Amino acid sequence: MSRHGPPGTARSGRARTVLLGGLGVLVTLGVCEALGRAGLVRREDLPPVTEVLARAAGLAADPLFLDGLLATARAWASGLGLAVGLAVPAGLLLGSVPAAATAARALVEFLRPVPSVALIPLVSLLLGSGTATEVTLITYASVWPVLFNTVYGLGEVDPAARETLRAFGFDRFQVLLRAALPATAPFIAAGVRIAAGTALVLAVATEILAGFGEGLGTFIAQAGNATDGTVDVLAGVVWAGAAGLAINTALVAAERRLFPWAPEHRARTAGAAA
């Protein structure tokens, strides 16, 4: 039997959550459809939802649109991968070496509040308006959630586990690998999930502001400049939202499978079983 109740109860709780979430989406779409059909909002500003969804579905058969979507996905994955590769080692260093954390504090606090979008003109000037700029901005924006979650996770490691390993003669690096890193892994995973959403926002926003090249944001920007392009703009937004939802769902499922003991997932399991 599950710690939080029978497995069937947990499954029914999750099904209820999905059902209620789907109901909320349907109600929202129905309200938007009614506003568009009733003429309470100008059709140019808010086309009927059915038209937008039909256009979004039709884009799945457009090779040019799919090529742009893949270009956005490549930039997103490259930037996120670089951010994780930089932030995890940096977070482990700052979280385990107090002198390094003190030395880096001023620089981190100076750079962290700078909006990534504000750096688009500067990075474009230095690197051009291609993929390099997009990946650089995605990396910059995505580093912070992973970095701070890693540092925070190290602070939550049980001191008794560290001291036990040290008592058996393990050095600092071995303690980090055997105790600190496994305990910090759920926090790192949560940081990656947050960073994944941030990376998608930056990927699309950079393409929109660039206004040329290829990508989902470029499609939205060009549709916005076209006559009667509102349906295409909203169809592109639907794709962006669907991509974000799919990414978050996949990462949450991976976290739940890899780290079922994490407090966040224990709470979700208990809530689903209630």
Residue 12: inside a domain: no
For residue range 176-230, list pLDDT tens digits in order: 777 778 888 899 999 999 999 999 999 999 888 876 678 999 999 998 888 778 8
Between residues 96 and 238, the one the model is more confident about: 238
Between residues 65 and 270, the one the model is more confident about: 65
Mean pLDDT is highest, among 36-45, 205-214, 227-236, for 227-236
Number of structural domains, the chain?
Answer: 1
Res 126 pLDDT > 70? yes
User: Stretch 127-141: mean pLDDT, rounded?
Assistant: 87
For residue range 141-181, list pLDDT tens digits in order: 999 999 999 999 888 777 777 777 777 777 677 777 777 78
Residue 80: inside a domain: yes
Q: Print the SS3 string covering 27-79.
A: HHHHHHHHHHHHCCCCCCCCCCHHHHHHHHHHHCCCHHHHHHHHHHHHHHHHH
Q: Answer whether 0.85 is exceeded by the pTM.
A: no
Mean pLDDT of the chain: 83
Residue 197: inside a domain: yes
CA 27 – CA 166 distance, rounded (Å) = 58
Q: Percent of the chain beyond pLDDT 70? A: 86
Q: What is the CATH number of the domain that holds 114?
A: 1.10.3720.10
**DSSP SS3 for 213:** coil
Residue 40: inside a domain: no
Res 48 pLDDT > 70? yes
User: Stretch 47-64: mean pLDDT, rounded?
Assistant: 90
User: Stretch 69-92: mean pLDDT, rounded?
Assistant: 94
Q: What is the DSSP string of 78-113?
A: HHHHHHHHHHHHHHHHHHH-HHHHHHHHHHHHHHTT
Residue found under tokens 């650089």: 136
Mean pLDDT is highest, among 96-110, 236-250, 254-268, for 236-250
Residue 22: inside a domain: no
Q: Which domain holds residue 106?
A: 48-273
Res 7 pLDDT > 90? no
Residue 35: inside a domain: no
**By the 8 A CB rule, do 95 and 87 touch?**
no
CA 265 – CA 269 distance, rounded (Å) = 6
Residue 27: inside a domain: no
Q: What is the pLDDT of residue 31?
A: 77
Residue 266: inside a domain: yes
